[in-house]
Structure 1
Amino acid sequence: MITVIAKLPVKEGKMDEAMAAFSVLISKVASEEGTLLYSLNRDKANPDVLVVVEQYRDKAALEFHSSTPHFKEFFSA
């Protein structure tokens, strides 16, 4: 199993927009083979930071996730 914890700063005033975008991404990630967990949280110490906790069955599942069109589109915006 592979676990990824990503801390993503959000520009001031953009949290609602970021949360909405993640909601769409999470719905797509949920159907990916090998994705065991994809959880969005807010950093308690810094409310302008989102924390994504991800778990994948193996390296191949993580690589697949990182290569999907929805992942690339989300992080190119």
Structure 2
Amino acid sequence: MDKESPGLNLEKLVAVLQPNGHQLILEEIPHWNAAELVVNGKTVFHCKINDLDFGNDGKLHPLCGEARIAALNAY
């Protein structure tokens, strides 16, 4: 993958969610430039993939933090 690849942006989101014990399954969705976090069949967070571009591992990214909280609140 190159630097502009959406997969690299999603890795940041994965890096924030996995340490909290979440098991993740990445699936391609039909919406271009969209990321959705689905917990138990319910979408609890969504954003544009390109909005996740931040230049670090995602731990300081505000959207990754929002996604982590949404996943924790889903239980």
Fold shared by both chains (TM-score > 0.5) = no
Could you state the TM-score of these two structures normalised by the residue count of structure 2? 0.35
| The structure with more radius of gyration | 1
Instruction: Choose between structure 1 and 2: higher strand proportion.
Output: 1
Structure with greater contact order relative to length (CA < 8 Å, sep ≥ 6): 1
